[in-house]
Structure 1
Amino acid sequence: MISVALFNNKGGVGKTTLTYHLAHMLQRLGHRVLAIDLDPQSNLTAAFLDEDELAEIWQEGLQASWPLIDGQQKLLLRADRDSGTVASAVEPIMRGLGDVRFANPITITEGLWLVPGDLNLSAFEDKLSAAWPNSLIGDHAALRTTTAFHRLILDASERVRADVVLVDVGPNLGAINRAALLAADTVLMPLAADLFSLRGLRNLGPALRDWRRIWKTNVLPHVPSDIAAPQGTMTPLGYVVMQPKMRLDRPVKAYQRWLDRVPIVFGSSVLDPPNEDIGNSYEIATLRNYQSLMPLAHDARKPMFDLRSADGALGSSQTLVQRCYQDFRSLSQELLKRLADLRAGD
């Protein structure tokens, strides 16, 4: 198993959309995929599950509105009674009553599973912040807190025998994301070719380097053998450029101007040690804009590249669906190649 965190300090670049479609395409290519939603906004979970399923998992008590089958309430089909959210997994730690509560991931389809997110996860931020300085001195309770996400990922991936774990995290450099990223073997960065994404890279890179250094030198030596801890590698795999919808007031040359800056900023800010002379070697893909397909995919509750004429993808939209499929297939194959190269180099 190898884990990939999808992250950029700049929000709104299509990170969750990328995670959702990568998960489906990697599964389509024959891999066992586990998606884990560590973003308290839980947008990835909402993409995978419908409202009734969310109500059941989040225990909102809306069963009375569900359809009846033979006089009985319709049961949740994809989750079982042992399924739980990330927030429910760390609740014993938040309440000071125990350790991580492991649970079965939700089966989305054969070969694809989800550990769902929950807005309640935001309450874990303060607990993680308080635990960080005590982790540096080897406090066992603090170490169990800071390694909670890693151990959750490890347990869930072993339950489903995952080949690839995709971790969706929010767009900030807070304690939740620090713990989430430290738990990831690699980091993939979706970004737009604009000033804001470049600023996000400049903030993200030094933070990753600091966290990696502190974890390896000040924390790992103090971790006892009975606590599974991540190595804190967070190896940068590269970036995916999410193409914007071009407007008349933002010509192509303005887009190209920022696109030309991405490799320089990525090399100088994200790589460790810094290296500006990377060319486009870390650009995994450039994805065109599929905004016209997004509403159809949302209504149909399926990936954009699975849309059919019955879903409203007619005429030129069907051509775009086919391009979308090829783009995500190529992206997934390149990602798998880089992961294989990384494993071979270990």
Structure 2
Amino acid sequence: MISIALFNNRGGVGTTTLVYHLAHMLSRLGHSVLAVDLDPQASLTSLCLDEPELKELWNVCPEAVARDAAPASARGFGRVREGHSVADAVRPVLEGAGDASPLQPVSLKAGLWLLPGSLDLGRFEDKLSADWFRSLAGDAAAIRTTTAFRHVVQRAAEGVDADVVLVDVGPSLDAVNRAALLAAETVLVPLIADFVSLKSLSSLGPTLREWRDSWQTLGLSQVPAGGPAPAMTMAPLGYVVIQPEMRLDRPAVAHARWLDQISAAYSSAVLGQPSPADDSHRIATLRNYRSLAPLAHAARKPMFDLKAADGALGSTQTYVQTCYGEFRDLAENILRRVDEVR
């Protein structure tokens, strides 16, 4: 099993959309995939589940559910049940009431599962922040807090025999995201070729290296004998550039000038290895498929699976096929990169 966190502390780069499409593509390629929503905004969960299911999962408007406002399949008899999100699973640990609860993933399709998130994750920020330093000092209860996400994800992945775990992480450098990133073996950075993404790397890279080094040099040695001791390597995989516009299959001129600078900034900030701009860590450049997004959202499926019946007519269908090819290549390139860094 491999675990990959997709993370950028700069918001608006399409991280959740990338996780969603990568999960579906990897499943299409024959891999069993577990998608994990550890973003306190729960955007991936909202993308994967229908509104009645979200109401059931998060206990929103229970009186409406009782009045048959939702179909029977969403009222505890279908894919979800109330209180079965990641936040619910880790609540006993983070509230000091016991161990994390096992969480059964939601089956999205054959070979593809979701560990649903919740907006309640943000409530654990203070606890995770305080216990981080206690865990580095060897406090057993704090170590359970710091590794709670990791344990829930690992047990769920083993339960469905997942080949690949994709973790969606929110856009900030806070304690919730630190615990989320510690649940992954590798980290992939999605970004846009612009000045803000270039600048964000200067804070993202050193912070990731500090978290990883602190755990491996201090926290790991403090884990009690016989207890789980995850390495939590967070090994950098590289980055994916998502272009706002494409012209003649090349990045728009306004953004092309940032590409060379980003490759050097990634090497320096994320890897701590200043090097010339050789593009070796750029896994792919994806065009922006914004015209397909509304159709995909309405059809509740990935953009590359859109059919004529979904409104993808004429030249749009060619665009769908191009989208499929790019995401297939991206998925294959990511798996190759994983093999190189393990």
State if a TM-score over 0.5 links the two structures: yes
1:324-335 correspondence runs (5 A): 324-335=323-334
Give the Å deviation of 1:79: 3.1
> Which residue in the other structure is 1:112 paired with?
112
1:130-279 correspondence runs (5 A): 130-245=130-245, 252-271=252-271, 273-277=272-276, 279=278
What runs of 5+ residues in structure 2 fail to find an aligned partner? none
Query: What is the count of residue pairs matched by the alignment?
Result: 336
The 8 Å contact of residues 53 and 76 in structure 1, kept in 2 or not, is answered as no
Distance 1:144 1:315 in 2: 55
> Which residue in the other structure is 2:288 paired with?
289
Give the Å deviation of 1:246: 6.2
Secondary structure of 1:108's partner? strand
Distance 1:11 1:280 in 2: 23
> Which residue in the other structure is 1:78 paired with?
79
Cα distance 1:5–1:68, how it changes in 2: closer, same or farther (>3 A)?
A: closer
> Which residue in the other structure is 1:58 paired with?
58
Cα distance 1:218–1:74, how it changes in 2: closer, same or farther (>3 A)?
A: closer
Distance 1:296 1:226 in 2: 51
Distance 2:92 2:159 in 1: 21
The 8 Å contact of residues 138 and 223 in structure 2, kept in 1 or not, is answered as yes
Output the TM-score relative to the length of structure 2: 0.94
Amino acid at match of 1:320: Y
Runs of 4+ in 1 over 6 A off after TM superposition: none
Matched, 1:14 2:14: yes
Amino acid at match of 1:162: A
Cα distance 1:76–1:198, how it changes in 2: closer, same or farther (>3 A)?
A: farther
Q: Deviations over 1:146-179 (max 9, x none)?
A: 0001111111111001100000000100001111
> Which residue in the other structure is 2:306 paired with?
307
Q: Deviations over 1:224-273 (max 9, x none)?
A: 134323213111101110010369xxx932211111211100011001x4
Output the TM-score relative to the length of structure 1: 0.93
Give the Å deviation of 1:67: 5.3
Secondary structure of 2:36's partner? strand
- Matched-pair identity in %: 57
The 8 Å contact of residues 150 and 229 in structure 1, kept in 2 or not, is answered as no
Secondary structure of 1:260's partner? helix
Distance 1:256 1:315 in 2: 30
The 8 Å contact of residues 260 and 279 in structure 2, kept in 1 or not, is answered as no
Cα distance 1:221–1:278, how it changes in 2: closer, same or farther (>3 A)?
A: farther
Q: Deviations over 1:102-128 (max 9, x none)?
A: 111111111000000000110011110
Give the Å deviation of 1:275: 3.1
CA-based RMSD of the aligned residues comes to: 1.9
Secondary structure of 2:240's partner? strand
> Which residue in the other structure is 1:121 paired with?
121
